[in-house]
């Protein structure tokens, strides 16, 4: 598989603070990559640099063979890189269908959010793509509901459906199951991943739930102290001693410096 995204020696500093360093990653077409790490480990900084929300201090980001390092986020989006945020970015007074039409109008017209939203029914193409998104993300029953009235799971699905407007080749998801109940998480991810697979989308998703990562990621990037400390299939990366110690907490360091499994009480 050829690399859709290549990152070389990526760095980001804020004054004397190093937020990202020595990041080298190749992401093939069609791969689903889970990004893990404790708060402050560099995950969001990495995603923000790829999507143009932060300008790297050094290194290169290559997408489909062309440099996108430091380009504005809107230009990167037009090239085929999209993202969703941890908090859903919706038009609360529009219906689900209107939100989708607005996102599609923005993606295709390149106009401002306001003008694209106002002209959300500009073409049959827009409406047709919105209907397809309703079906793929299983939100058709909420078609005419206002976004402000949606349950959290439907808000997440709508937000991610809107992020796929324009059919991006690469989609970055920031904690797609955040705020979702344990009982709903896996079903939600099944819908998301099936929809994205149907579109042939390459996916990078930030996630704190290791069971979600283990089930849905083809590959895991584990961040610690601004850099990648493990990179591989979930069965390998999640069992890496450094990941177990610094991220998942499944190993602890004893006084003699050795790593041990934590003691579990069965009382």
Per-residue pLDDT at 254 = 47
Other C-beta atoms lying within 10 Å of the C-beta of residue 78? 16
**In terms of Cα–Cα distance, which of 46, 149, 44 is closest to 96?**
149
Q: Residues 173-185: pLDDT tens digits?
A: 999 998 888 889 9
Domain ranges of the chain: 1-80+168-267, 89-164
Per-residue pLDDT at 181 = 87
Residues with Cβ within 8 Å of 25's Cβ and at least 6 positions away in sequence, in order, are 5, 6, 7, 221, 228, 231
Residue 108 Cα distances to 87, 150, 196, angstroms: 24, 26, 19
What's domain 1-80+168-267's architecture?
A: 3-Layer(aba) Sandwich (3.40)
Confidence of residue 257 (pLDDT cuts 50, 70, 90): low
Judge whether residue 87 has pLDDT over 50: yes
**26-47 average pLDDT score:** 95
Other C-beta atoms lying within 10 Å of the C-beta of residue 263? 6
Q: Residues 105-128: pLDDT tens digits?
A: 888 775 555 554 455 456 788 889
């Amino acid at each position: 598989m050829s690399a859709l995204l290549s990152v070389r020696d990526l760095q980001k500093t804020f004054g004397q603070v190093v937020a990202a360093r020595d990041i080298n990653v190749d992401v093939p077409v069609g791969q689903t990559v889970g990004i893990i790490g404790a708060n402050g480990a560099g995950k969001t900084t990495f995603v923000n640099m790829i999507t143009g929300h932060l300008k790297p201090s050094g290194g290169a980001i290559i997408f489909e063979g062309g440099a996108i390092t430091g380009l504005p986020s809107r230009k990167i989006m037009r090239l085929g890189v999209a993202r969703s945020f941890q908090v859903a970015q919706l038009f609360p007074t529009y219906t689900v269908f209107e939100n989708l039409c607005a996102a599609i109008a923005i993606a295709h017209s390149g106009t401002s959010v306001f003008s694209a939203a106002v002209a959300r029914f500009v073409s049959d193409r827009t409406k047709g793509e919105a209907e397809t998104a309703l079906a793929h993300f299983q939100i058709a029953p909420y078609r005419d509901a206002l976004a402000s009235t949606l349950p959290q799971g439907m808000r997440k699905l709508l937000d991610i459906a809107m992020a796929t407007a324009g059919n991006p080749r690469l989609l970055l998801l920031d904690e797609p199951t955040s705020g979702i109940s344990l009982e709903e998480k896996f079903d939600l991810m099944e819908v998301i991943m099936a929809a994205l697979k149907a579109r042939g989308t390459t996916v990078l998703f930030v996630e704190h739930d290791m069971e979600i990562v283990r089930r849905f990621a083809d590959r895991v990037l584990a961040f610690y102290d601004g850099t990648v400390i493990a990179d591989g299939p979930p069965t390998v990366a999640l069992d890496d001693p450094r990941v177990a110690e610094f991220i998942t907490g499944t190993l602890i360091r004893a006084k003699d410096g050795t790593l041990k499994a934590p003691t579990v009480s069965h009382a």
